[in-house]
A and B are shown apart, each in its own frame.
Chain A
Amino acid sequence: AQSVTQPDIHITVSEGASLELRCNYSYGATPYLFWYVQSPGQGLQLLLKYFSGDTLVQGIKGFEAEFKRSQSSFNLRKPSVHWSDAAEYFCAVGNGQGGSEKLVFGKGTKLTVNP
């Protein structure tokens, strides 16, 4: 069974600083990996996903993530954080069964951005 660990429950950065959110996964086959963002009172929005090809994937809002199979990691990065990036971030791993896909989520990392 797949699982996801997000080691950081809460991260605080200053506006304009760089950001890296950590994600480690466990899955026996080729993982399908995702990052979602949830703003307060909102649903989850897909930032980016990886299932094959280039291990550095670009997403929306200036985010990118790098898949490292040797480290079972899929860390999310942004070079310069904006105040509007304050939200909860979730990493997820899927089983790649497109029509019956089961996503397992990490427990989330809450990002606070200081002015």
Chain B
Amino acid sequence: DTAVSQTPKYLVTQMGNDKSIKCEQNLGHDTMYWYKQDSKKFLKIMFSYNNKELIINETVPNRFSPKSPDKAHLNLHINSLELGDSAVYFCASSQETDYGYTFGSGTRLTVV
């Protein structure tokens, strides 16, 4: 069983489109995250949700909107996609009584 699963794995789309990436975790963790990994492999946090409540919101364009329907799911919706949004987006989860994340396998977004 996959602990943190993301869909789709690959996403190619044109500039200006709107797209969503979905994430689900079956670990029973309370907190979920979105990270962006750029072309130089640098990982930067975007958002964090704890039990459906937004707790970390880094400096991210408001074209990016996370949504957490329940604590096992955290989706990322991106409006008006730009070339610079091309990256690998990782979902992760963690538990309050433990430290460190469990990562999904990533979604490679390519904007053309």
A interface, CB within 8 angstroms of B:
32, 34, 36, 38, 42-46, 49, 51, 88, 90, 94, 96, 98-105, 107-108
Q: List 24 A-B contacts (CB under 8 A).
A: A32-B99, A34-B99, A34-B100, A38-B41, A44-B103, A46-B100, A46-B102, A51-B99, A90-B43, A94-B99, A99-B30, A99-B94, A100-B31, A100-B48, A100-B55, A100-B56, A101-B94, A101-B99, A102-B45, A103-B100, A104-B45, A105-B42, A105-B44, A107-B40
Closest to B97 in A: A98
**How far, in angstroms, from A45 to B106 measured CA to CA in the complex?**
12
**How far, in angstroms, from A103 to B96 measured CA to CA in the complex?**
14
A96: chain B residues within 8 A (beta carbon): 99
Most central of A102, A103, A107 by chain B CB within 10 Å: A103
Query: Do B31 and A99 touch (CB < 8 A)?
Result: yes
**How far, in angstroms, from A31 to B26 measured CA to CA in the complex?**
28
B38–chain A nearest beta-carbon distance, Å:
10
B65–chain A nearest beta-carbon distance, Å:
19
Is residue B50 contacting chain A, with contact meaning CB distance below 8 A?
Answer: yes
B98: chain A residues within 8 A (beta carbon): 98
Query: Do A107 and B41 touch (CB < 8 A)?
Result: yes
Query: Do A94 and B100 touch (CB < 8 A)?
Result: yes
Query: Do A43 and B106 touch (CB < 8 A)?
Result: yes
Is residue B105 contacting chain A, with contact meaning CB distance below 8 A?
Answer: yes
B100: chain A residues within 8 A (beta carbon): 32, 34, 46, 49, 94, 101, 103
**How far, in angstroms, from A51 to B98 measured CA to CA in the complex?**
10
**How far, in angstroms, from A34 to B56 measured CA to CA in the complex?**
20
A45: chain B residues within 8 A (beta carbon): 103
